[in-house]
Homo-oligomer: A and B are copies of this chain.
Amino acid sequence: MVSNSENIPDAENFPAEINGLRMTRQRREVYKSLMENRVHPTAQDVFMEVKDKLPQISLATVYNCLEALVQHGIIRQVHFDRESCRYCPNLHEHGHFHDHSTGKIHDITFKPGVKLEDFLELPAGTQITNIELTLRGSLA
């Protein structure tokens, strides 16, 4: 159980809106599912999870909810090649390590204080708004 390490509010006292996005029943369950098990699920995965709580929810609605949450900066979308998009409620700047031996995806953080210019040759005047870093390999 991951539970209270991150203070996930339960249904009753869940905020009515987050970052200006109204928390409907569907959005709340989608978001809670992401918060409760940090497995970088696909839309399909979330759909199956959430159906326990809202049996009538549709896959299209899960896509809508995920999109809305992404647009409001509540979750992040991550990509591995051209596989299904995955979703992640960790908003801290981080990359991902795809462990091929287990199939699991792990968050990778930058060392404190590191800046892009420290390790990349960036052309002068580059304004970076988004970084996506993906490592692949295995834990020996």
Contact = CB atoms under 8 A, between A and B. Distances in A.
A136 B133 CA distance: 12
A119 B123 contact: no
Of the listed residues A85, A109, A120, A136, the one surrounded by the most CB atoms of chain B closer than 10 A to its CB is A120
Given A106-B123, A119-B114, A121-B108, A136 B128 contact: yes
A95 to B, nearest CB: 7
A104 B122 CA distance: 15
B95 A120 contact: yes
Of the listed residues A77, A85, A111, A121, the one surrounded by the most CB atoms of chain B closer than 10 A to its CB is A121
A130 interface: yes
B134 A122 contact: no
A119 B121 contact: no
A85 to B, nearest CB: 6
Contacts of A126: 97, 135, 137-140
Contacts of A1: none
Given A82-B82, A108-B122, A114-B119, A137 B130 contact: yes
Contact of A129 (B79, B127, B132, B136): B136
Given A135-B131, A137-B129, A139-B127, A110 B121 contact: yes
A118 interface: yes
